[in-house]
Amino acid sequence: MGERVLVTGGAGFIGRAVTKELLNRGNEVRVLDSLIEQVHGDRERPEDFPDDAELIVGDIRNKDVVGHSLKDIDSIIHLAAEVGVGQSMYAVERYTSVNETGSAVLFEALIDRPVRRVVTASSMSIYGEGLYEDADGKLVQNAERKARTSDTQSWDPLDTEGRPLTPIPTPEWKQPSLASIYALGKYVQERQTLIMTQAYGMEGTCLRLFNVYGPGQALSNPYTGVLAIFSSRLLNGQPPLIFEDGEQRRDFVYVGDVARAFCDALVNPQANGEVFNIGSGVDRNVKDVAQSIARALQRNAIEPEIAAKARVGDIRHCFCDGSKAADKLGFRAEKDFDEGIAELAEWVARQSASDRVDEARAELEAKGLVA
């Protein structure tokens, strides 16, 4: 028999996939979502929101709304958050308010209405740079990049002797390096989850998501996942904009796999009190990814625009060591990347999108966040 599950942020890209997976597993689902315009446009209800899920439109920071949403709830998947590294560096109050205070409101409400378990969405952004090895094979957790002062200077982190560091998969034990307000807020959400659930007799789990992609992303939101941003540009006949040189490496994981991970983490006894990386375990450079989506959308002739500039808060390389999730959750990503890209492209081709990338870049440059 399933549970009554509250999904905060459940009308968003990942939230809708999680909601569908929960329903498929026999749960009843209530969604709390503010349906902000940046993500949802002016729709009152997302097109593909499941009919058999209850939707409460409200703000996670509103105590009365949160209290109402918790009535008769058995467990929670907490996804509600403002998302975007770049935007978080100037919309500081908004990101801090929604991500940190919003979670605080939720956990304070849970003191009087405890649930069995809370699974919270965290982010790979908390790592800052991923894990590296130096030329001697020693692990480097605190790799940092110096600001480039010439075009010949390496984009990659170097060791103290100026030798290049080699990126390797990043495990959960790697120390955080919080390089953006967004990353700071996600780490606060993690700690709130683990501290408050333990203090009040609940169970808590956090999933550090790597780069999630798939059908249903907010194509008109210039601060969403990079594949959605690339798709929006291509759909409008514009080249994907890539900061730095395009060789930065990331881990792209399909939204359906991520939904499965959340639902597994909600019920697996070994998940309590733990933090897990959720990724594909395969690293790809951003330029290749842009070319992959261009091919899938039959926009091969549109070459990416390489900005050769960096954004404040961006990191060079970070990709997933998923061995802990495999061992304790039994989770492994299943979707083949090319197959996932094809599904994304098929969905994107049926959409219309406003290309706001130039507008977003202008905002970042005006605030001195691009160099």
Strands ordered across the beta sheet of 274-278? 54-57, 28-33, 4-8, 75-78, 117-123, 203-209, 274-278
User: What is the tally of structural domains in the chain?
Assistant: 2
Indicate the residue among 113, 147, 166 that finishes a domain: 166
279 and 323 part of one domain: yes
Report pLDDT digits (tens) over 85-103: 878 888 899 999 999 999 9
CA 270 to each of CA 103, 204, 205, 262, 329: distance values in angstroms, whole numbers, following the listed order: 24, 11, 10, 13, 7
Indicate the residue among 166, 187, 215 that finishes a domain: 166
285 and 148 part of one domain: no
125 and 141 part of one domain: no
Of residues 353 and 236, the one with the higher pLDDT is 236
Measured in degrees and rounded to the nearest 5, phi and psi for residue 33 equal -150, 140
Domain assignment of residue 242, yes or no? yes
Catalytic residue positions? 182
235 and 99 part of one domain: yes
- CA 259-14-120 angle, to 5 degrees, is 75
* pLDDT reading at 204 higher than 90: yes
123 and 242 part of one domain: yes
Q: Which residue has the tokens 């009554």?
A: 4
Task: Provide the residue range defining the domain that includes 153.
Answer: 132-166
CA 33 to each of CA 3, 37, 157, 278: distance values in angstroms, whole numbers, following the listed order: 20, 12, 39, 23
Domain assignment of residue 371, yes or no? no
E-assigned strand segments in 45-176: 54-57, 75-78, 117-123, 132-133, 139-140, 166-167
What is the C-alpha to C-alpha distance for residues 316 and 129, in angstroms, rounded to an integer? 6
Of residues 224 and 28, the one with the higher pLDDT is 28
Q: What type of residue is 77? A: I
Average pLDDT over residues 186-202: 98
**pLDDT (0 to 100) of residue 359:** 58
Domain assignment of residue 265, yes or no? yes
Measured in degrees and rounded to the nearest 5, phi and psi for residue 139 equal -75, 140
**pLDDT (0 to 100) of residue 223:** 57
Report pLDDT digits (tens) over 111-166: 999 999 999 999 999 999 999 999 999 999 999 887 777 778 889 999 888 888 99
Query: What region, left, alpha or beta, does residue 137 occupy, with left being phi > 0 and alpha being psi -120 to 50 degrees?
Result: left
74 and 194 part of one domain: yes
Cβ neighbours for 324, distance < 8 A, ≥ 6 positions apart: 171, 172, 274, 276, 277
**pLDDT (0 to 100) of residue 358:** 57
**pLDDT (0 to 100) of residue 229:** 78
348 and 281 part of one domain: yes
Task: Give burial (CB, 10 Å; 0-12/13-18/19+) of 364.
Answer: buried
* pLDDT reading at 224 higher than 70: no
159 and 33 part of one domain: no
> 3-state class of 33 per DSSP?
strand
Average pLDDT, the chain: 89
- pTM value surpassing 0.85: yes
- pLDDT-derived band at 167 (thresholds 50, 70, 90) equals very high
Q: Which helix (H) or strand (E) holds 189?
A: helix 181-199
Domain assignment of residue 125, yes or no? yes
What is the C-alpha to C-alpha distance for residues 108 and 201, in angstroms, rounded to an integer? 14
* pLDDT reading at 297 higher than 50: yes
Q: Which residue has the tokens 């070319």?
A: 291
**How many H-runs (helices) and E-runs (strands) does the chain carry?**
13, 15
60 and 151 part of one domain: no
Domain assignment of residue 16, yes or no? yes
- CA 70-124-247 angle, to 5 degrees, is 145
Q: Which helix (H) or strand (E) holds 285?
A: strand 283-285
Average pLDDT over residues 341-351: 85
Indicate the residue among 146, 166, 186 that finishes a domain: 166
219 and 361 part of one domain: yes
What is the C-alpha to C-alpha distance for residues 256 and 84, in angstroms, rounded to an integer? 21
The region of weakest confidence among 271-280, 320-329, 360-369 is 360-369
The region of weakest confidence among 67-71, 274-278, 359-363 is 359-363
Q: Which residue has the tokens 């697996």?
A: 268
| CATH code (residue 49) | 3.40.50.720
**pLDDT (0 to 100) of residue 40:** 47
**pLDDT (0 to 100) of residue 92:** 95
**Pairing state of beta strands 203-209 and 249-254?**
unpaired
Task: Confirm if 8 and 38 have CB atoms less than 8 A apart.
Answer: no
**Is the four-CA dihedral 8, 10, 13, 14 of positive or negative sign?**
positive
273 and 261 part of one domain: yes
**pLDDT (0 to 100) of residue 307:** 82
152 and 236 part of one domain: no
Report pLDDT digits (tens) over 31-74: 999 987 555 455 566 778 889 999 999 999 999 999 999 999 99
**pLDDT (0 to 100) of residue 43:** 57
